[in-house]
C-alpha cells in the first residue's frame, strides 16, 4: 500500500491514479523483482526467461493501456485500476511460472487487501479534496 500513499496530487490536476492503481503497480513490481531475484540464485539460469518476462510485462502494459479511457466531456480518466489489475495479474502469473508460490500467495493476499481497502480510502481522499478544493472551471 506504500506506493498508493504517493497519490497526493497538485491542486491543479484533476485526473489522478488512486491508491488502488498505484498500490497494485507497486505490488506487482515488487513481486516480480522478488521472484526474479530468487530465480537468479538457482543453478539453471536461462537468459531467455528474462526476455520472456520483459516481453510479457510490455505486452500486458499495452493491453492495460487499451482499457484506460479519457472522456472528452469530463476531465476524468477511467480504467486505471482495471489496467493495474491486468498488469499485476500478469506479474502473479509469471511468479507462479517461476515456481515461487510463497511470493505469489503473499502477493495475491496483498492484492485483495489493496482492492478492498483502496476503494474506501480513495473515496475518503476524494471527499476531503472536493470539500477543500472545488473543481477548476473548464476552459
Span 4-17, pLDDT tens digits: 444 444 444 445 56
Per residue in 12-42, pLDDT (tens digit) is 444 556 778 888 888 888 888 888 888 777 7
Query: How much is the average pLDDT of 125-133?
Result: 69
**Could you report the per-residue pLDDT of 68-99, keeping only the tens digit for each?**
877 777 677 778 888 888 889 999 999 998 88
Residue 66 has pLDDT above 60, yes or no: yes
CB 2 within 8 A of CB 66: no
- Give whole-number Cα distances, 55 to 14, 26, 61, 62, 96, in Å: 32, 19, 10, 11, 17
Tell me the domain boundaries of the chain. 51-125
Question: Cell digits for 127?
Answer: 471527499
Amino acid at each position: 500500500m506504500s506506493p498508493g500513499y504517493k497519490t497526493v496530487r497538485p491542486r491543479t490536476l484533476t485526473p489522478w491514479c488512486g491508491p488502488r492503481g498505484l498500490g497494485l503497480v507497486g505490488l506487482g513490481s515488487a513481486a516480480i523483482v522478488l521472484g526474479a531475484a530468487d530465480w537468479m540464485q538457482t543453478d539453471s539460469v536461462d537468459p531467455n526467461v528474462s526476455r520472456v518476462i520483459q516481453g510479457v510485462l510490455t505486452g500486458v502494459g499495452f493491453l492495460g493501456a487499451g482499457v484506460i479511457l479519457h472522456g472528452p466531456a469530463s476531465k476524468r480518466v477511467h480504467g486505471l485500476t482495471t489496467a493495474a489489475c491486468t498488469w499485476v495479474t500478469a506479474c502473479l502469473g509469471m511468479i507462479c511460472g517461476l515456481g515461487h508460490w510463497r511470493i505469489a500467495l503473499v502477493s495475491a493476499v496483498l492484492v485483495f487487501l489493496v482492492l478492498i481497502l483502496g476503494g474506501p480510502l480513495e473515496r475518503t481522499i476524494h471527499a476531503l479534496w472536493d470539500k477543500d478544493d472545488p473543481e477548476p472551471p473548464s476552459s
